[in-house]
Chains A and B, each alone.
Chain A
Amino acid sequence: QQQVKQSPQSLIVQKGGISIINCAYENTAFDYFPWYQQFPGKGPALLIAIRPDVSEKKEGRFTISFNKSAKQFSLHIMDSQPGDSATYFCAASIESYGQNFVFGPGTRLSVLP
């Protein structure tokens, strides 16, 4: 029940296209859902996050869509750029317990020029 599932495992998108990564969870106590971006050889860094009181959060070209009833959330990258090529991790936590995240297995995104 602590698991966060993520798909696809890898994704190839043309420059200017939309990248979509999906995640699903089982534990209904989760109330904080961040996305992390990791470039090769670097540590992950927070990209964007959402709480279940909203269905969508947008920051620039990055949007999280959240479906509480389906226990699913997704990351959309609009106008994908080669510089977006990285591994993306979704995560979930119970905020009152602190920042002990359960991470998804990751999606390797490649944006072709």
Chain B
Amino acid sequence: SQTIHQWPATLVQPVGSPLSLECTVEGTSNPNLYWYRQAAGRGLQLLFYSVGIGQISSEVPQNLSASRPQDRQFILSSKKLLLSDSGFYLCAWSVTAGVVGAYNEQFFGPGTRLTVL
């Protein structure tokens, strides 16, 4: 079966410090990978998605970046955190091509709660 891991679970960082959040997926190959940010009580903002190693699409301009160094590894980074970067960061994966007639879905990880002080 497939599993998705995110770490750390919680993180408190000072403004201006760097950031590295990691997401790994097990039990599948060549998945699509996604990074979302969720502000408190708000919806899901898609930050980045990737369809393959080294292939990153950015959805919104920000001081964050993403990388996919391996097929099932997705990393979210920042060189200097801002207060506005605080939020709940979710990684998700999906199969590349859905199955006709089945439920096709994104599978979300447990999330990382980031607080920038």
Contact = CB atoms under 8 A, between A and B. Distances in A.
B52 to A, nearest CB: 12
B95 to A, nearest CB: 7
B103 A49 contact: yes
Contacts of B90: 43-44
A60 to B, nearest CB: 15
A64 to B, nearest CB: 12
Interface residues of B, number: 24
B105 A49 contact: yes
A30 interface: no
Given A98-B32, A98-B96, A98-B97, A44 B104 contact: no
B44 interface: yes
Interface residues of A, number: 20
Most buried by B among A43, A46, A108: A43
Given A99-B94, A105-B42, A44 B108 contact: yes
Contact of B43 (A89, A98, A100): A89
B49 interface: yes
Interface of B: 32, 41-44, 46, 49, 51, 90, 92, 94-98, 103-106, 108-111, 113
